Amino acid sequence: TAKEQGKNCLRMYEPQIEEGAMRRVRLQSLLRIDAERSGFSFVVQPKVDAQRQPQGAELLVRWSTRDFGVVSPAEFIPMAEQTGAIELLGRQALHSAARLAAELGRRGRPMPVAVNLSPRQLLNPSFERIALHACQRHGVLPSALELELTESALTESAVYPLLGRLRRHGFSLALDDFGTGYSSLSHLLKLPFQKVKIDRAFVAEALHNAKAGVVIRGTLEICRGLGLRTVAEGVETDEQFELLRSLGVDEFQGYLFDRPMPQDDWLAQLFTC
Ligand code: C2E
Ligand code: MG
Ligand code: MG
Ligand code: MG
């Protein structure tokens, strides 16, 4: 009967739910262990200008576990936010970014290195000190680092004064994934951003969806008026690049140019040609 089938279905799902919960618990504990022993690595994805010349790079965390293989940031960053492991991970990211920026300076090609920040990191009263310390430790000015934050970091107005102080120290501030989150144009008016990164979702739709095109054009117009630089993320095809370039986007990032790669590979690419 249908009732019996229903029961069977229910039973079939149970092990999966349990497996998912087990995975979470295991990953959370591995995450804490690896956060404490600096068990993450950081790859970079370059940003290029309209002539495809490198303008800097964004640092992206990678995590490989013995039991689960490579785990995607989309899965473990939210976990790290919940458990607090993001504090240690974030500190490692800042140091890695400052170290890379210092290396670029030493080799005579200073370029900003961008690092992603989670909302929870900004709520830590020590964040300002941690970020400045990373710069001092590696001998770079805060202006060598670009802090990428998403709109989810701006829901608490308590972080607004912090953003002002970070800016006054010289850190550059970029609004990441623009257009997908809790978009509020007042963020662009009130907060000291220098850059807006247009989310990959709009880039992917730009060619085929007239409405996405309208949103991109409008965003670019607003950014131009406010003196903000624009970055298009997730550029995958020549057609997308041509369109965005013709619309006046300043910087581009995506698989069309480079996939995220080990920092040494990027340095080799920069300094051998
Ligand atoms: P995000 O900051 O928006 O980074 C861009 C993501 O898009 C990266 O995924 C990148 O690998 C991917 N991507 C770049 N170009 C293309 C493209 O052309 N096509 C497609 N389909 N994807 C592209 P990833 O590395 O998996 O990171 C995902 C998210 O995890 C990041 O989104 C960021 O929010 C977060 N994240 C990564 N590293 C860190 C970190 O060190 N700290 C914090 N707090 N968050 C991080
Ligand atoms: Mg980012
Ligand atoms: Mg992004
Ligand atoms: Mg994105």
The two beta strands, 54-65 and 69-71, are antiparallel
Residue 12 has a pLDDT of: 57
Half-sphere exposure of 261 (CA within 13 A, CB side): 16
- The token duo for 37 is 């022993």
The two beta strands, 172-178 and 195-198, are parallel
Q: Which of 50, 7, 19, 62 is nearest to 252 (CA)?
A: 50
Pair 234, 200: CB distance under 8 Å: yes
Pocket test for ligand 1, best of 34, 42, 60 (most atoms within 8 A of CB): 60
Per residue in 40-55, pLDDT tens?
A: 999 999 999 999 999 9
ipTM summary value: 0.98
Half-sphere exposure of 198 (CA within 13 A, CB side): 31
Phi, psi of 154 (to 5 degrees): -105, 5
Report the nearest-CA residue for atom 25 of ligand 1.
Answer: 60
The two beta strands, 172-178 and 145-150, are parallel
Residue 19 has a pLDDT of: 80
Tokens 């300076």 correspond to 105
User: What's the pTM?
Assistant: 0.93
pLDDT along the chain (273 residues), means of 10: 51 70 93 93 98 98 94 96 95 98 98 97 96 98 97 90 97 94 82 96 92 93 96 98 97 98 98 83
Q: Of the ligands numbered here, which is closest to the C-alpha atom of 234?
A: 1
Residue 185 has a pLDDT of: 84
Q: Which residues contact 163 (CB under 8 A, 6 or more apart)?
A: 173, 191, 192
- Dist. CA 141–CA 143, nearest whole Å: 5
Q: Which residues contact 158 (CB under 8 A, 6 or more apart)?
A: 123
Scored b (16 or more CB within 10 A) or e, 255-264 reads: ebbbebbebe
Report the nearest-CA residue for atom 8 of ligand 1.
Answer: 60
Q: What is the DSSP string of 247-268?
A: TT--EE-STTT---EEHHHHHH
The two beta strands, 41-48 and 172-178, are unpaired
Asked if residue 61 has its Cβ within 6 Å of ligand 1, the reply is yes
Asked if residue 146 has its Cβ within 6 Å of ligand 1, the reply is no
- Dist. CA 92–CA 98, nearest whole Å: 10
Q: How far is the CA of 5 from the centre of ligand 1 (A)?
A: 42
Pair 130, 94: CB distance under 8 Å: yes
Pair 94, 50: CB distance under 8 Å: no
- The token duo for 188 is 């662009």
Residue 112 has a pLDDT of: 98
Per residue in 107-140, pLDDT tens?
A: 999 999 999 999 999 999 999 999 999 999 999 9
Residue 9 has a pLDDT of: 53
Residue 2 has a pLDDT of: 46
